[in-house]
Structure formats: structure tokens, C-alpha cells
């Protein structure tokens, strides 16, 4: 069922099947730093309740794309619609309030603080202390590592455990849209699997997930929807499976035979 994936030539292709209602929609988004645009007329939709995985080579603009969602990168032209409403004027705090929560890149925990303190910090914008406690208890119930290591200093946990605590912290805001930038980066294969399992659980618990993953194969396997970004443009989109099975994309980005740090994938280590 490769044929339903949509290849972009000139950026005006449409999906062959009606997509579920989008939670987030990129409409010809242009964004960048200084004088130059990094994203060029990026259009795609993040279906509500889905897990959308964006893949592409290093430097393609994936993190920049996520920056336009969390509000740290300005959308210069085009528009981002969240539940149909423009996000352009919303600052990062407004976006948090709407339920758009990005898990920061790794090493974002306070190492000298306990796991519990770190998780509770995720609720820093919540005024209601009882709500903070209640959310913490719920999270500790569903994520064993939180309960088991609650009193330990975050810095004493392994890299993979710390990543899970970062996920737990973002759950304090009961996010509608969870934005993840390469959560498996720097982890050994076994820990990576735990992290992917947790991403799956996040999604299964009813949250919409927007995931960027360098381990493209593993990311797309989890995904309901896949997007390939190349040089700041959407090259292909479709179901996770369609993108995964697309022959050209497979050869370019997902090939297990592609040597590390060689070729367009910039080193895909998910062989």
C-alpha cells in the first residue's frame, strides 16, 4: 500500500484519503534564523489523537519545525493552526496554556533535585498545589521509575531513566499535544526501546504526539502518520507505514545498509 503516500513536487500535493480532523495544521509555514529561511512552505497536518513522526536528514529543519510549534521560532510567513485557530500571536506561555508541551532535549533535569521535585516542577505554571500533588500521584502510578526513584537525586539515574523523568515532568501539564525532539538520542538500543515504549504509551493514553526521530525506522513504526522533511521542505507524507515502505525513502533515509555518517541520512543508526 505504498501508492497512497503523497510525494511533494512543488508543495501542492494533497492526501489521497481524507485525514482525521487535524489538531495542528501547518499551512505554508516559512521560518528561520537571521536572514535565511530554513523552512520553506511547509504544509502538513497533525491528526488529533495520532502519533505523527517527522524524519529527515540532519539539518533538514526538524528542530526548527518543532520550534515553530512551541513558539521559540517565529513563523515568518504562512500559519500554524491549532484546533483551527492561528498560533502566530501566541507566545510560548500561551501555547503551554493551550496544552502544547515540548519535552526539552536531553539533560534538562536538575541533577541535585530529587526525581519527585523534578517531576513536580513540570507543574510550575499550575497555581493549585492540590492539583500538582494529584497529577504527580497519577503519573507515579503509571510510570514505575517515578515511584521507585522518587527520593533519589535525578543526577543519579541512568540516561534512559532521566529521559523517562523528562516525559513524566511534561505530563504534569496534562498536555493535549506532546512534542518530542529525538527522545532516543544517545541511548543504547535497550534503553531506546524503553523510551519508544513510553512514547507509545503516551499516545495510547489518548494524547496527540508530534515526534521527531533520527531513528527513522523505529519512529515510523510507532507512527500513525509520517512526514519526511528534506532541506526544509516536506518531501513525502502518508501513514507511518506508507512512508516506512516507500521504496525511495527507504533507500535514502532508512537503509540499513547505509554506512554511518555517509549518505543523505547523515548516519542512521537504526540498522
Residues that bind ligand ADP (CB under 6 A): 33, 38, 56, 58-64
- In sequence order, what are the residues at sequence separation of 6 or more whose Cβ sits closer than 8 angstroms to the Cβ of residue 91? 71
Report the nearest approach of ligand ADP to the CB of residue 57 (Å): 7
Give the residue with the Cβ less far from ligand ADP, 59 or 155. Answer: 59
- In sequence order, what are the residues at sequence separation of 6 or more whose Cβ sits closer than 8 angstroms to the Cβ of residue 151? 114, 115, 116
Q: How many CB atoms lie within 10 A of CB 239?
A: 20
Report how far residue 124's alpha carbon sits from residue 101's, in angstroms, rounded to the nearest whole number.
Answer: 13
106 binds Mg ion (CB under 5 A): no
Query: CA-CA distances (angstroms) from residue 30 to 1, 55, 58?
Result: 31, 18, 19
Which of these segments, 56-64, 129-137, 143-151, 169-177, binds Mg ion (CB under 5 A)?
Answer: 56-64
User: With CB cut-offs between 5 and 8 Å by kind, which of Mg ion, ligand ADP, none does residue 59 bind?
Assistant: ligand ADP
User: With CB cut-offs between 5 and 8 Å by kind, which of ligand ADP, Mg ion, none does residue 114 bind?
Assistant: none
Which of these segments, 58-66, 157-165, 169-177, 236-244, binds Mg ion (CB under 5 A)?
Answer: 58-66
Give the residue with the Cβ less far from ligand ADP, 120 or 181. Answer: 181
Q: Is 108 exposed, middle or buried (0-12, 13-18, 19+ CB in 10 A)?
A: middle
Contact (CB, 8 A) for 209 and 54: no
Give the residue with the Cβ less far from ligand ADP, 99 or 266. Answer: 266
Contact (CB, 8 A) for 51 and 243: no
Q: Which 61-100 residues touch Mg ion, going by CB under 5 A?
A: 62-63
Report the nearest approach of Mg ion to the CB of residue 49 (Å): 25
Strand-pair category, 100-103 with 233-239: unpaired
Site string for Mg ion, 124-153 (x = CB under 5 A): ------------------------------
Q: Considering CB under 5 A, how many residues would be counted as binding Mg ion? A: 2
> What is the 3-state secondary structure of 103-171?
ECCCCCCCCCCEHHHHHHHCCCCCCCHHHHHHHHHHHHHHCHHHHHHCCCEHHHCCHHHHHHHHHHHHH
Give the residue with the Cβ less far from ligand ADP, 62 or 203. Answer: 62
Which of these segments, 55-63, 78-86, 93-101, 195-203, binds Mg ion (CB under 5 A)?
Answer: 55-63
Give the residue with the Cβ less far from ligand ADP, 60 or 210. Answer: 60
Q: Which residues bind Mg ion (CB under 5 A)?
A: 62-63
Amino acid at each position: 500500500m505504498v501508492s497512497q503516500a503523497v510525494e511533494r513536487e512543488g508543495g501542492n500535493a494533497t492526501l489521497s484519503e481524507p485525514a482525521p480532523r487535524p489538531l495542528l495544521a501547518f499551512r505554508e509555514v516559512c521560518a528561520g534564523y537571521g536572514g535565511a529561511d530554513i523552512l520553506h512552505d511547509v504544509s502538513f497536518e497533525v491528526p488529533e489523537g495520532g502519533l505523527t513522526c517527522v524524519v529527515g536528514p540532519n539539518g533538514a529543519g526538524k528542530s526548527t519545525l518543532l520550534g515553530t510549534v512551541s513558539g521559540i521560532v517565529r513563523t515568518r510567513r504562512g500559519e500554524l493552526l491549532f484546533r483551527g485557530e492561528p498560533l502566530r500571536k501566541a507566545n510560548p506561555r500561551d501555547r503551554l496554556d493551550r496544552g502544547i508541551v515540548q519535552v526539552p532535549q536531553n539533560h534538562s533535569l536538575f541533577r541535585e533535585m530529587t526525581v519527585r521535585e523534578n517531576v513536580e516542577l513540570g507543574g510550575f505554571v499550575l497555581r493549585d498545589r492540590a492539583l500538582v500533588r494529584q497529577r504527580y500521584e497519577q503519573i507515579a502510578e503509571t510510570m514505575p521509575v517515578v515511584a521507585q526513584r522518587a527520593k533519589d537525586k535525578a543526577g543519579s539515574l541512568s540516561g534512559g531513566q532521566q529521559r523517562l523523568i523528562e516525559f513524566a515532568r511534561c505530563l504534569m501539564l496534562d498536555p493535549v499535544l506532546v512534542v518530542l525532539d529525538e527522545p532516543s538520542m544517545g541511548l543504547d538500543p535497550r534503553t531506546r526501546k524503553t523510551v519508544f515504549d513510553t512514547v507509545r504509551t503516551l499516545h495510547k493514553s489518548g494524547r496527540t504526539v508530534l515526534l521527531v526521530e533520527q531513528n527513522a525506522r523505529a519512529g515510523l513504526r510507532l507512527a500513525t502518520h509520517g512526514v519526511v522533511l528534506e532541506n526544509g521542505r516536506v518531501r513525502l507524507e502518508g501513514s507511518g507505514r506508507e512512508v516506512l515502505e516507500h521504496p525511495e525513502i527507504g533507500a535514502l533515509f532508512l537503509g540499513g545498509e547505509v554506512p554511518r555518517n555517509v549518505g543523505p541520512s547523515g548516519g542512521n543508526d537504526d540498522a
